[in-house]
Amino acid sequence: MDKYRLLAIVEYDGTDFAGFQSQGNKRTVQGELERALHQITSEKMRVVGAGRTDTGVHAIGQGAHFDTAWNKSPEILQRALNAVLPTDISIRSLIEVPKNFSARHSAKSRTYRYTILNQSIRSPLTSRYALLVQEPLNVQAMNVAAHCLIGEKDFGAFGTPPRGDNTVRQVYRAQVERAGERVLIEIEANAFLYRMVRRIVGTLLLVGKGWLSIDEFRQVIVKERRAGESVPPQGLCLIKVKYELAANVADCTRSEG
């Protein structure tokens, strides 16, 4: 039987993974997906992800494609995968896509969310998924500063390219809002540099604490001032990868959180 291509939307708790991409003997999301697929289909296949989330980074909307000759429906395969995958990974949706589709190269944008728990007392139940910041934060100033990121810019002040030397990226949306004791920072872009979001968040925190003005934040973007330190990974989550698919293909972002 000829092979066809499937797109999975994957959710995972990244705490115990060395990132998405396979890395030798380290435990990775890609490795667990390929192992589960082999267990079910007896095929050895390569899973290609939309993004290489780092060690400790989570996802609720990671895109990943693979080719298979599986002769049953994607719905049956989805149930089978969720039955054998470890409890820190699940397949939220699984659909057939054209053979020339790429989870990585066909992505129109990626959206990351960083969660800060802004309260004086630590919370053991959220420590795996949020960064505790005990000082009061000026969220309005952080939001104004975040808007300075929007547009096509050189973001070399905040990260390094995964390959090559191009540090120009297009940011479509950047916002900071408070939800109770949580401060949520969301950034949507066509692509990201290595550790770009985490260093942006570290710099926005300087604004929120009153240590950096909005004008000084603009100076960081144009490399006239040094960016803040990269924040820890546990607060970061890939929440959505946006694709444009033909009308007769199911909406692959329907499971977005």
Residues 80 and 136 in one domain: no
Instruction: Say whether both 9 and 80 belong to one domain.
Output: yes
In a domain, 194, yes or no: yes
Q: Report if residue 32 sits inside a domain.
A: yes
Number of structural domains the chain divides into: 2
Whole-number pLDDT of residue 164: 85
Q: What is the mean pLDDT of the chain?
A: 93
Does residue 70 sit in the same domain as residue 127?
A: no
Which pLDDT does position 246 carry in this prediction? 64
Residue 58, classed as helix, strand or coil, is strand
Task: Kindly tell me if the per-residue pLDDT of 255 is higher than 50.
Answer: no
On whether the pTM is more than 0.75, the answer is: yes
Banded model confidence at residue 198, pLDDT cuts 50, 70, 90: very high
Q: Which of 106, 123, 142 marks a domain boundary?
A: 106
Same-domain status, 208 and 115: yes
Q: Give 191-226 as a 3 state SS string.
A: CCCECHHHHHHHHHHHHHCCCCCHHHHHHHHCCCCC
Do residues 163 and 229 both lie within one domain? yes
- Cα separation, 238 vs 168, in Å, equals 20
Residue 144 lies in a domain: yes
Residues 216, 222, 224, 228: is their CA dihedral positive or negative? positive
- Nearest to 241, CA basis, from 249, 251, 233: 251
- Residue 223 sits in the same domain as residue 158: yes
Query: Which residues face 173 on adjacent strands?
Result: 188
| pLDDT reading at 49 higher than 50 | yes
- Neighbouring C-alpha atoms within 13 Å toward the C-beta of 25: 0
- Is residue 254 in a domain? no
Considering the domain boundaries, does residue 243 fall inside one?
no
Boundary of a domain, candidates 106, 123, 152: 106
- Do residue 102 and residue 114 come from a single domain? no
Same domain, 170 and 83: no
Decide: helix, strand or coil at residue 143.
helix
What is the average per-residue pLDDT within 251-257? 36
- Region 151-173: what's the mean pLDDT? 94
Same domain, 16 and 113: no
Q: Residue type at 197?
A: V
Q: Which residues does 108 contact at the CB level (< 8 Å), separation at least 6?
A: 190, 242, 243, 244
Which residues are bridge partners to 29 per DSSP? Answer: none
Residue 249, pLDDT above cutoff 80: no
pLDDT at 245: 78
Question: What's the mean pLDDT in 31-36?
Answer: 97
pLDDT digits (tens, 9 = 90+) for 52-105: 899 999 999 999 999 999 999 999 999 999 999 999 999 999 999 999 999 999
* Residues annotated as part of the active site: 54
Give the end of a domain, one of 58, 89, 106.
106
Residue range of the domain that includes 98: 4-106
Yes or no: say if 14 and 233 are a contact pair by the CB < 8 Å rule. Answer: yes
Percent of the chain having pLDDT more than 90?
90
How many CB atoms within 10 Å of residue 200?
32
Locate the DSSP E strands across 39-156. 48-49, 58-68, 89-97, 109-117, 131-132, 151-154
Query: Do 221 and 207 lie in a common domain?
Result: yes
Identify the band that residue 162 occupies on the pLDDT scale cut at 50, 70 and 90: confident
Spatial distance between the Cα atoms of 66 and 126, rounded to a whole number of angstroms: 33
Do 86 and 151 reside in the same domain of the chain?
A: no
252 occurs within a structural domain: no
State pLDDT tens for residues 114-133: 999 999 999 999 999 999 99
Q: Are 228 and 131 contained in the same domain?
A: yes
Q: What is the mean pLDDT of residues 212-222?
A: 97
